[in-house]
Structures are given as C-alpha cells and as structure tokens.
Amino acid sequence: MPADGEAPPPPPEPAINFWGDHPATEAEYYAAHGSEGESSYFTTPDEGARRLFTRAWRPRAPAARPKALVFMVHGYGNDVSWTFQSTAVFLARSGFACFAADLPGHGRSHGLRAFVPDLDAAVADLLAFFRAVRAREENAGLPCFLFGESMGGAICLLIHLRAPPGEWAGAVLVAPMCRISDRIRPPWPLPEILTFVARFAPTAAIVPTADLIEKSVKVPAKRVVAARNPVRYNGRPRLGTVVELLRATDELASRLGEVTIPFLVLHGSADEVTDPAISQALYEAAASKDKTIKMYDGMLHSLLFGEPDENIERVRGDILAWLNERCTPPATSWNRDITVE
C-alpha cells in the first residue's frame, strides 16, 4: 500500500504479445513451440498493386519437408499477428507449413480499416498470394489446403468456387460465415435501408452491432487478451462492408450445393456470431464426396482461442487428424457422419 500522500503505482503495461511478456520475442515463442516464422509484404500483380502483409510458419529446422501447405484466412476485424497465429504455430510444429495474409483493410495490409466493399477483389488478392507461394520450387508436389475462420471460412469457399476443380486438397472451415446469424443480422427492413445509404456513405462506421468479443470468447481472461490486439478493428462496422458481407454470404448460402472440395467444418452449438445451422446445411447440401462436420456442444464462436484450453485441444486434435489423413489420401471415397461432441 502506498504511504499517505503518495500516488498509487501505475498499472502494469499491457502485454506486447498475446502470450504475455515471456518469451520476449516472436522468434523465441516460435522456437519454444517447435516452429519458426517470418513476415513480409506481397504486392498484387494487377493494376491496383495493393500490398498485403503476410506471415509464414514452418516446422523448426532441421525438420523434414512439410507434410503439406496450409493457406489460412482470418475473420472480420481480426488479423494474422495476434491470437490467430497460435493455430498456425500448432500446425507448424505438427509438420505443416502455414501461410496467411491480413485481408485488405485489416491488420497491416493496405486499405481503410475494416472497409471491404468488394469481397471478390479480396478473394482475388489472397488467391494471387497463395498461388505465388505454391509456385515456389521448394513447395512443388505438396498438398495444399485452405483454412478459414468465420468470414475467412466463407472466403475459403469463395476461393474454391472461383478456382479450377482439384486445385485444393481440402478445406478446414472453423465456424464459417456462410450466412450471418439472425442473432446479429440487422432485422428487416434495415438491410434494405443500409444498402441504399451505403451508396452515398459506404465508409461510414455507423452500423449497430453486438460486442463480437463478448459473444465469441467464452473465457473472461481471454476476452481481455483479444481486446488488447493493437491492430484489431474495434469500431462499428462500415456500411459498405456490412452490405457486401450480406450480399456475399447470401450468395454463398444459395450455392452450397456447388461445393465439391473435401472439407471439415467445425462449429460450436452455442455460436451467436455465425449460424451453426448453416454449417449443417453446408454439410447436407455440398456435393463433396469427402465431407466431415463436427458440432461441439455448448462452445461459442472462437473455437481455437476463446474456449477453455481443454476444448481448444479437442478442436485442434480433430483438425490435425483430418489433415494428417488427407496428406496421403486413401483409395476409397469418404462421406463422414455428423459428430456431436
């Protein structure tokens, strides 16, 4: 206790890394978890020449050649440099090389924060980066998987629908935003009003929404960590972004029967951000011969960070088992049953 008249000690500074103050650097954190990583920028090859901030995570040298490449896509308002990378580090130490980029308008990539007026353009930017990585000589012949969380899951499906058949060995879809949940979707006639107003003020950050961290992250201490992300967008959604997400997810929901990629979809039954019923509809409607769905009873939206550690380990284990099986696909076709855990 301070003596009378003395000022109380200042509060501790927020941790500069999502794991805390120790280890002090990313390189040390990666090494402690059997991986190594790097960051850079990728410039898109089209006339716009946009810059995406990118990261890569690999098994720590002198590990053997990776089993496969995993191309990862984060969700709305998030980025690849905070808690998202904990999954990439896990996969890297398990033998996979992982690559990800901050979406346009997110993290350290170009663009107005959280402004995504054209999701198709964002898909094209990511696909250009992913294909540039795949074209490297050291990656020749390796299976390539997509991995997406929330909005990133929807983007993975859009990448699949816009790519030639067979380009991807499979996709891991974590609480995918195939349709915005009715629990947070603006009620009618607000979407029509937003669409009209967005023509004149697309960047206006005025759309009312629930606290996504509160609704996504179950463990209170982890909510604090998520909120400390220095590049996370915490403002209200922008009109143009909301209208585009409504358009793109409505399109995706209408095209579930066109999905042919092998996939694993994972969803918490208590998710209030994206709709687990739409993941169920994806599983039932998709034309994929190899499809697996896992519903986790009582889990929320943030399956790979916001849950208690034992739940996270269960979800990670399911992802790893699925990927490992498909690095050397069996001769028979697959059609998995629903698993409720």
Q: Which residues are catalytic?
A: 150, 271, 301
Task: Give the C-alpha separation, 194 to 180, whole Å.
Answer: 15
Tokens of 319: 């992802």
For 252, the enclosing helix (H) or strand (E) is helix 239-254
Length of the chain: 341
Do the Cβ atoms of 156 and 173 come closer than 8 Å? Answer: yes
Sign of the four-CA dihedral 29, 35, 36, 42: negative
SS3 311: helix
- 73: which 2 tokens? 């896509």
- Which residues on adjacent β-strands are paired with residue 339? 294
| CA neighbor of 248 nearest in space, from 103, 130, 107 | 103
Residue 133, both tokens? 């990585």
Q: Which positions ≥6 away from 16 have C-beta within 8 Å?
A: none
